[in-house]
Structure 1
Amino acid sequence: MLTTDKQPKQPKQVKQDIRPLALALPGDAELSPVDDDIYWLRMPLPFELDHINLYLIRDGEGYAILDTGIGTKTTEALWEKIFPQIGNIVTRVIVTHMHPDHIGMAGYLSEKFEVPLYMSMAEYYIARSMVAGGRGASNWQDKEYLVRCGMSTEYIEKSLENKGGLQKVVRPIPLGFKRLTEGMNLKIGQFSWKVMIGRGHSPEHVCLFCEEKNILISGDHVLPKISPNIGVYSTEPEANALDLYLTTLPQFKALPHSTKVLPSHKLPFTGLHTRVDELLAHHHAHLDVLREFCKAGKTVKECLPVMFKRKLNPHNMFFALAEGLAHLNYLYYQNDCSREVDGQGRWIFKTL
């Protein structure tokens, strides 16, 4: 899931460098050709960010599916309308990462066509564990996380009541998979795609680059106009997710600046190097603001208004807390601020 904050305004010459590809925007159950071998399609999402981009890649007589949509009846009905358009032949299912809008229908598609699921190992097993749920384990760590972030007792109680919804939007995940690893070349049809791994938004996010086509399927790792959520959650509250993201993002500047980027949200675009620079600047701008704001010592919750200018609903608050903590943990590990637990059990971050 993603934050929907727009990026800080850039000089006109920078903005003009990022251009959407001249592709027809696909409607429901419509396929928009990217080239002779790739189709772009979109599936609806029940969030502020109301769509996800999916891709079909010609693979012999059929097509490989790249990401799958959220696991709902609506998505299933749309897929059923798409299958006849590709001859009802699906060769494999490739998932960039374990978030439900990407993996939600993977099990359904893999089962229907009896084809393998391709993922990185970390993403596959984390998805399996999250869908399986706590299996009776207590939620004290979830509660402690929200206390540490400075949330109210009322918010914590409501939040804990709403746990367990992931199983409703992710179909049963196949019991086996084919592993994608950093640097490997994946042959799809007549073309080779290099696996590039991004981290921070998710643990081992797969991006695919085809040198012959000069196309990067970037998933959520590189998005136009919005930034992927970089979050620290109750499963690993002391993680340094932002450092992982900032470390794995610059590698994409080694690709040609002219690369056609096919992201999971918003429009396919060119201007890859500029967009990478914008995303790096976006996070460093947040860090600069937090260094100044935390001179007096602040909780995670107290920092959110300086990072997010809009009102946060409960759904967005979950991701905003994770994003805020990711930035504050980064400052802590950079020795730019201290992190102490106060008498109420809250983390207090104070600039050094």
Structure 2
Amino acid sequence: MTDLQYPFEKPPEFGATLEVAPGVYWLRMPLPMALDHINLYLLEDDDGWWIVDTGMKWGKVKDYWQEVFDHSLKDKPIKGVIVTHMHPDHVGQAGWLCDRFQVPLLMTHAEYYQAHFFASFSAEHLTWSTQQYYRRVGLADDFFITMKRDFKGYAGIVEPIPSSFQRLQEGDVLTIAQQQWRVVIGSGHSPEHACLYCEALGVMLSGDQIIPKITSNVSVMPSEPEANPLLQWLNSLQRFMDFPADTLVLPAHNTPFVGIQTRVEYLMAHHQDHLLALEEACVEAKTAHQLLPVLFKRELDNSLMMMAMGECVAHLNYLIYEHKLSRTAVDGVDYYLSIDASLQQRAKPGKHRQDDLPIQV
């Protein structure tokens, strides 16, 4: 990824802001995981501020927000909260912020209602269908039993989701300080992820859709075991190839960068490489669990198994829908077998790159 350019030498400290384009400010909040931060943004309007993403309900996040309010708002009020998608590091403090300032939440329809769904989800909802999903991928029932016992849930790391919202849709335009920000929708990582693009400034707020140094998780979840999110993800990425090469991309993790086409090309090639590696590995029938080492270098503990398995099944489902794998159930466990006659010509044995671990965003 040497073709990416990083215009800013260092990120702002927690609780501080850095202007990265006229009226666009970058701030960060901590996360309790290996990926230890999320990037958030403030958009300055003539008469106030718009918050883009909010941080997780965790640790000192509220304290850092208070530092921002005390020192960075130029005595102007918060006007609204824009959330790119429903993952807890993005929507986690939205309820608190909206209630505190009595301002609207702007979010896409699917992300808003999925946030509500997960906020109400408890261990009691981990029933036979979840157990069946993990049996099908080749995990013993002990995994499900342990997962249900240790389940902490989404609600513990998000403030209560606001009871109303303003819907964002593809092509909507938000006018902020005479600048037009167009809503661009992606999917696959989450159902209806909103990015914001300002042509006049040459700036893209990309959320988790495009991140410069990590690949966002694309998973099949037990709640929709036949989903094909990787197809949605790849189709979404292709659309981002149309933006100007000099676009300043402001991602939710890592640091702002220039080089959107280069990064999108890498992300698509990364998944295509994983797909081919799985095809090659399935010359003999294997379970999803047996295929995890094809994608990931390190041994996975239970805390990472759900993310890793979801990512693996997403690739396997894609290959099934593309008629490159078959799937056969034996005693409730799915086995995958390569069926595309062209595989021998396409194969690149020994040349595939594994990920270290599944990314938790």
- Is 1:159 the counterpart of 2:147? The answer is yes
Asked whether the equivalents of residues 231 and 319 of structure 1 are also in contact (C-alpha less than 8 Å), the reply is yes
**What residue in structure 1 maps to residue 347 of structure 2?**
none
**What residue in structure 2 maps to residue 238 of structure 1?**
226
Instruction: Name the aligned partner's letter for residue 94 of structure 2.
Output: A
SS in 1 for 2:282: helix
Deviation by residue 1:136-165 (Cα, 9 ceiling, x = unmatched): 556111111111111122222111212342
Q: For residues 332 and 27 of structure 1, what CA distance do their matches in structure 2 show?
A: 46
Q: For residues 324 and 291 of structure 2, what CA distance do their matches in structure 1 show?
A: 16
Q: For residues 172 and 40 of structure 2, what CA distance do their matches in structure 1 show?
A: 22
- Is 1:322 the counterpart of 2:310? The answer is yes
Deviation at 1:88, TM superposition (A): 6.1
**What residue in structure 2 maps to residue 36 of structure 1?**
22
| Deviates further, 18-27 or 125-134 | 18-27
Q: For residues 327 and 150 of structure 1, what CA distance do their matches in structure 2 show?
A: 16
| Deviates further, 145-154 or 326-335 | 145-154
Q: Aligned in 2, Cα 1:307/1:278: closer, same or farther, shift over 3 Å?
A: same
Which of 1 and 2 has higher RCO (CA within 8 Å, sep 6+)?
A: 1
Instruction: Name the aligned partner's letter for residue 71 of structure 1.
Output: K
Query: How do 1:249-288 and structure 2 match up within 5 A?
Result: 249-288=237-276
**What residue in structure 2 maps to residue 128 of structure 1?**
116
Deviation at 1:61, TM superposition (A): 2.4
Deviation at 1:62, TM superposition (A): 1.8
**What residue in structure 1 maps to residue 31 of structure 2?**
45
**What residue in structure 1 maps to residue 171 of structure 2?**
183
Q: Aligned in 2, Cα 1:138/1:16: closer, same or farther, shift over 3 Å?
A: closer
Deviation by residue 1:72-128 (Cα, 9 ceiling, x = unmatched): 242111111111121362110000000000000000000000000000000000101
**What residue in structure 1 maps to residue 346 of structure 2?**
none
**What residue in structure 1 maps to residue 56 of structure 2?**
70
- Is 1:83 the counterpart of 2:69? The answer is yes
Q: For residues 282 and 320 of structure 2, what CA distance do their matches in structure 1 show?
A: 11
- Is 1:340 the counterpart of 2:328? The answer is yes
Asked whether the equivalents of residues 39 and 253 of structure 2 are also in contact (C-alpha less than 8 Å), the reply is yes
Asked whether the equivalents of residues 121 and 153 of structure 2 are also in contact (C-alpha less than 8 Å), the reply is no
**What residue in structure 2 maps to residue 312 of structure 1?**
300
| Deviates further, 80-89 or 237-246 | 80-89
- Is 1:149 the counterpart of 2:143? The answer is no
**What residue in structure 1 maps to residue 336 of structure 2?**
349
Instruction: Give the number of equivalent residue pairs.
Output: 337
Deviation at 1:28, TM superposition (A): 1.6
**What residue in structure 1 maps to residue 46 of structure 2?**
60
Q: For residues 163 and 123 of structure 2, what CA distance do their matches in structure 1 show?
A: 18
SS in 1 for 2:299: coil
Instruction: Name the aligned partner's letter for residue 150 of structure 1.
Output: G
Q: For residues 17 and 256 of structure 1, what CA distance do their matches in structure 2 show?
A: 15
- What runs of 5+ residues in structure 1 fail to find an aligned partner? 1-14
Q: For residues 292 and 18 of structure 1, what CA distance do their matches in structure 2 show?
A: 31
Asked whether the equivalents of residues 94 and 119 of structure 1 are also in contact (C-alpha less than 8 Å), the reply is yes
- What runs of 5+ residues in structure 2 fail to find an aligned partner? 340-361
Asked whether the equivalents of residues 118 and 180 of structure 1 are also in contact (C-alpha less than 8 Å), the reply is yes
| Deviates further, 32-41 or 277-286 | 32-41
Instruction: Name the aligned partner's letter for residue 80 of structure 1.
Output: Q
Which TM-score applies when normalising by structure 2? Answer: 0.91
Q: For residues 155 and 138 of structure 1, what CA distance do their matches in structure 2 show?
A: 12
Deviation by residue 1:148-205 (Cα, 9 ceiling, x = unmatched): 1111222221112123421110100111000000111111222111111100000000
Q: Give the percent of matched residue pairs that are identical in Structure 1 and Structure 2.
A: 42
